[in-house]
Chain A
Amino acid sequence: MPHIHLPEGLPGIVSGFAFRPETARPMRELAEILLRGPSSLTSGEREMIATFVSTRNDCYFCQTSHRAAAAHHLDGNYELVDAVRFNHQHAPVSAKLKALLEIAGKVQQDGKAVLAEDIERARQEGATDLEIHDTVLIAAAFCMYNRYVDGLATFTPQDQQLYDQMGARMAREGYVQPAHRAQAAADTH
């Protein structure tokens, strides 16, 4: 049961967003820019970074929903997303993305854990300043979303099909449409 009285039946972060629309708006906008805005990293790559960090933070709702969103950006390739989640150094992704995931993993522990060598490695593999910046901020932002979701003990559905549908919608419609919330509510009822 959630720690506070959140609107019933809404899953995970959606319930916190419904409780406090004033903070929901910038939180949704941030996710939209970071994961779906114009970038030299694909949305699939960026969703994998978000999923990887949420997995390290052991946040069930975020890792499961963003895992599905990443897979929907990647032609339904859940295997690739899971390879990144659990063993990114041996996943069939670019050397650049591996280096960025390494940075994201350090940020998840503590910003100060990111070393000049980590940045140098990413740069050698072709990462730009903007890609490094966004990797750090995606990782940092999911250290926020994960704590928000778990810190309020929000409702966490277990139905995998629900997450697949949620991920499809996140990949297709993004994070700012009001339709997102209404649909998520409808799906869980």
Chain B
Amino acid sequence: MAHISLPDGIPGIRGPMMFRPETAKPLNELVDVLLRGPHPLSPGERELIEAFVSSENDCTYCQTIHGAIAAHHLGGDEELVRSVKRDFQHAAISDKLKALLAIAGKVQLGGKHVTSEDVDQARRLGATDLEIHDTVLIAAVFCMCNRYVDGLATWAPEDPDFYRQRAAKIAVDGYVASTLGSGAATAAG
């Protein structure tokens, strides 16, 4: 049971977002810019960073929904998502993304864990300042979202199909529309 009275039957972050629409608005806008805005990293790559950080934070709802969205963007490859969460250094992804995931993992522990060697390594593998900036910020944002979701003890459904269906919707409509959207969106959740 959630720690406060949230709308019934609404999973994960969407419960507190409905409870407090004033803060939901900038939260969704921030996530939309970071994960879906114009970018040299594909939405699939950015969702992988996000799913990885949420997995390191052991946040069931976030890592499952963002893992499902990542898989959706990556042609349905759920095994790739699992391999990134499990051991990204041996996953079938680019060396640049591995270096960015290493930075994201440091941010998850604490910002000061990121060293100039980590950043140099990412740069040698082709990462730009914008990609490094956004990797740090994606990791930081999900250290917030994970704590928000778990700190209020929100409901995480167990059925993997629930996440697959939500993921397909979010991949098309984005966070702002899907999370705060119509009754239809709520029913789909």
Closest to B118 in A: A3
Residues of B within 8 A of A65 (CB): none
Query: For the complex, what is the distance from the CA of A16 to the CA of B137, rounded to whole Å?
Result: 10
Contact between B132 and A4, CB atoms less than 8 A apart:
yes
Cβ of B22 under 8 Å from chain A: yes
Cβ of B107 under 8 Å from chain A: yes
* A149 in complex: contacting residue of B16, B33, B111, B132, CB < 8 Å: B111
Interface positions, chain B 98-126, Cβ under 8 Å from A, are 103, 106-107, 110-112, 114, 116, 119
Interface residue range, chain A:
35 or more
* A132 in complex: contacting residue of B3, B34, B37, B145, CB < 8 Å: B3
Number of CB contacts from chain A to chain B under 8 A: 155
Q: How many residues of B contact A (CB 8 A)?
A: 49
* A146 in complex: contacting residue of B16, B111, B114, B133, CB < 8 Å: B111
Given A140-B144, A151-B140, answer yes or no on A110-B57 (Cβ-Cβ < 8 Å): yes
Main secondary structure of the interface of A (DSSP, over half): helix
Contact between B30 and A153, CB atoms less than 8 A apart:
no
Contact between A151 and B57, CB atoms less than 8 A apart:
no
Given A33-B23, A119-B3, A150-B110, answer yes or no on A143-B152 (Cβ-Cβ < 8 Å): no
Give the interface of B toward A (CB within 8 A).
3-5, 16, 19-20, 22-23, 25-27, 29-30, 33-34, 37, 57-59, 103, 106-107, 110-112, 114, 116, 119, 129-130, 132-134, 136-137, 139-141, 143-153
Can you give 6 contacting A-B residue pairs, CB < 8 Å?
Answer: A3-B116, A19-B133, A26-B26, A59-B111, A114-B151, A147-B139
